[in-house]
Chain A
Amino acid sequence: MAEDIATSHASQELALAEAPMDARTLLSVRDLTVEFQTGQGRFEAVHRIGFDVAKGQVLGVVGESGSGKSVTALALMRLLPDHAARISGGRVVFDGSDIVPMREAEMCRIRGRRIGMIFQDPTTSLNPIFTIGHQLREGLRAHLGLGRTAANRRAEELLSLVRLPSVRAALDKYPHELSGGMRQRVMIAMALACEPQLLIADEPTTALDVTTQAQILELLRDLQQQMGMAIMLITHDLGVVAEFADAVQVMYAGRIVERAPVSRLFANPAHPYTQGLLHSMPALDEEDPAVLPAIPGMVASPFAMPDGCPFHPRCALASDVCRAAVPPLNPIAPAHSAACWHVEAVMAA
C-alpha cells in the first residue's frame, strides 16, 4: 500500500514535469488531499491530486457526484466547511504563494479579489433582501475601497459588461425579480468586480435552460478573452467542456484519472472511464446503437473504496493488477496523462 502511494506520487510529479512551473503558471496544486470527518467515519474526498493552471488558460474539470471536483474548488478557495473537512496535505501555490498555511486575514485578500468564484445556483449567493445594486456596491466598497459615486458607476459598468439589459433598472431590483440567467449574469459581474486572475466556475450553467446556457457560456468566453483571466470550469457536462475549455482533467473517486488538451481527450480518450462517458452519451446528429453503451455499476461509497484502481469494479478491462494497485497518472503523449494499467488496450479499442 505504502509502495503504491510512493509510485503514484512519483509519477504524478513526473507527469507534471512535462509542463514545468514557469512564469506562465498561475496556480500550481501538488499532492492536495482533503479529508472529511463525518458521523459514519473519516474519508478522503480528494486524494493527492496535482495540476497546474496557466495564466489565461481555461481548464475544464469533469466528474460526477463524489468525484471530488467541487471539494477541490472549495479547497482552493479555502472554503471547506470547518467542522467537517480539512486540507490534510499538499500545496496550493497561487501566483507564487502557498495558500494552504495562510491565515484567514491573508486569504481574504486573495479570495474574491484575485480568485473569483461563481456557483451553480446564484440564488444561494445573493441576499434576497437587498437590491442587486446594493450588493454590488457593497462588494466594490469593501474590496476596492471605492466611494459611493465611484462604486455606483462601477456597478453600472459591470452590469453592462455582463450584458444585462436595462442596467439602471436592474440595479434597483431584488434577486427574485430576475430570471435565472439574469441572476447568473449578476453573479458573474460580482465575481469579476475585482478583475480576478482566476475564476473558479462550479457548474455555472447546470441550473439554466439550454438556450440560456449557450448565452452564458458565450459571455464567459468573451470576458475571459477580453480580461485574459484563467478559468477553472467544473462541470459534469462533457459538451460544455468541449466548447469551452483548452485542457480537461477527468476526476473519479477523488483522483485525477486523465488529463489532456481538449481536442486530444475527445479524439483519443485513454482512460476507460473517460471513454465510457463519451460513448454513453447519445449523439445529436447520428444514429446511436439501440442499446447505449452504458458504464455498468456505480461509484463506490467513499467508505468502501475498492482496493487498487477505484474504477476497476466497473471496468471491462480490469485485471489482477487493477485489483491490486492504484495506477499512477502516467504521461502517454505530450500534455496527455492517464491513470490506467491498460492504456494501450483502451486506446486500441
Chain B
Amino acid sequence: MEQTPLLRIRELTRHFAVGGRVVKAVDGISFDVRRGETLALVGESGCGKTTTGRLLVRLAEPDGGSIAFDGTEITAAKADTLRAYRRRMQLIFQDPGSSFNPRMTVGALVSEPMHLAGLKRAEQAARVAELLPLVGLSADYAARYPHEFSGGQRQRIGIARALALRPDFIVCDEPVSALDVSVQAQVVNLLTGLQHQFGLTYLFISHDLRVVRHVAARVAVMYLGRIVELASKQDLYRSPRHPYTRALLSAVPSHRPGMTRRRMDAIGEIASADAVPSGCRFHTRCVHAQARCREEDPALRELAPGHVAACHLAESLPS
C-alpha cells in the first residue's frame, strides 16, 4: 500500500484583486509531496510558484481548494490546530538578509521560532549551540549580528532558523539564487545533507534548471497559475512533453561553447496573470498552437506512469 503523502494539495486557488483586475496567481493546482522527497517547482517570474509555497505553509490564505498535511485537512484549521502544524512546516527565503531584524543577534534570530513556540531559554540556547555547527557556522557567531556575514553565511543562518523546531517539511524559495556561483554549491550540498540526516521533505522553488536537476526527485512546471507538467526528474529532463517545459530546457545556456541550436517551442514572454489567455494559457507563446488550443483549456493528463502534462498535442509534438 502506498504511504499517504506528507502533503496532498487539491484544486488550490489564490486570486488577488489588484486595481479592479483579478490576478490569478494560483489557479487550481493539485499535487502530492511525498515523504522525504524533494519536489521542485519551476517556472518563470509571475507563474505563481512563490505564492504556492506561501499557501502550503499557510503564510497566505487560499481562496479555494484543500491542503492536507500528514493526512489532516489544514485548509480551514483554526489558529490552535494550525500552530501545531506550523512547527512542522518552515520556509527558507531567497534573501534571508532582508527578512532578518538587523538589531537581533544571530542567536536571537535562530531562537525566535523556539521562543514563539514557548521553549525555555536554556533549551533555546542549547539548541542554538547545536544548530549553528550543523549548518557550518561557528557556535560563537550567536553573539554577532547578521550584517557581519556574507550572503552565503546569512543563508546558513536562515536554514538554522528554519530547522530550529525540527520541522518535517521546508519550502525552499529560491534558496541559492541570490548567492555567488562559488557559494551556491556549498548551500545546495548543505540542504541535501540536512535532508538525508533528518529525513526532511522539501518543496524546492527555483528558476534554475541546473540546480533543480541536482536536488529534485520530481519536478512540477508552473505557467500562469497552473501546473502544466509534472514528472520524475529523469522523465522531465529526458523527455519533456509540454512545449513550455521544452522551451525552458532548451533556453538554459549549455556549457559547450558556441551558440546552441535551440528547439524553438516558445516565443515572446509570459502573459500577465491578470489577463490569462483563453483555452490553453500557453497558446499565445506556443509555436505548435492550433485552433483547439485557443478554445479548450487542456487538463493534466497522464502520458506515462507518473508523468502528467496539460497539452492537447502532447502525442503529436515533433521530437
A residues lining the B interface (CB < 8 Å) = 64-65, 165, 179-182, 209-214, 217-218, 221, 236-240, 242-244, 262-263, 266, 273, 276-278, 280-285, 288, 290-296, 298-299, 314
Contact = CB atoms under 8 A, between A and B. Distances in A.
B150 interface: yes
A64 B178 CA distance: 11
Interface string B233-270: 00001000000000111111111111110100010111
Nearest to A289: B214
27 contacts: A64-B182, A165-B268, A180-B45, A209-B207, A210-B248, A210-B252, A211-B266, A212-B269, A217-B253, A239-B253, A243-B260, A262-B257, A263-B258, A266-B256, A273-B182, A281-B185, A282-B185, A283-B210, A283-B255, A284-B209, A290-B192, A291-B193, A294-B182, A294-B186, A295-B186, A298-B153, A314-B182
Contact of A282 (B150, B211, B248, B253): B211
Query: What are the 3 closest A-B residue pairs judged by CB atoms, nearest first?
Result: A239-B253, A294-B185, A209-B44
Contacts of B248: 210-211
Contact of B214 (A182, A217, A282): A282
Contacts of B213: 282-284, 288
A209 B255 contact: no
Given A280-B185, A298-B152, A298-B183, A210 B257 contact: no
B30 interface: no
Contacts of B237: 284-285
Interface of B: 44-45, 150-153, 180-186, 188-189, 192-193, 207, 209-211, 213-214, 237, 247-260, 262, 266, 268-270
A211 B207 contact: no
Nearest to A266: B257
A288 B251 contact: no
Contact of B255 (A180, A236, A278, A288): A278
Residue of A210, A280, A299 with highest tally of chain B CB at under 10 A? A210
Given A276-B182, A294-B186, A210 B259 contact: no
A296 B186 contact: yes
Contacts of A276: 182
Residue of B153, B185, B256 with highest tally of chain A CB at under 10 A? B185
Nearest to B190: A294
A58 to B, nearest CB: 11
Contacts of A299: 180, 182
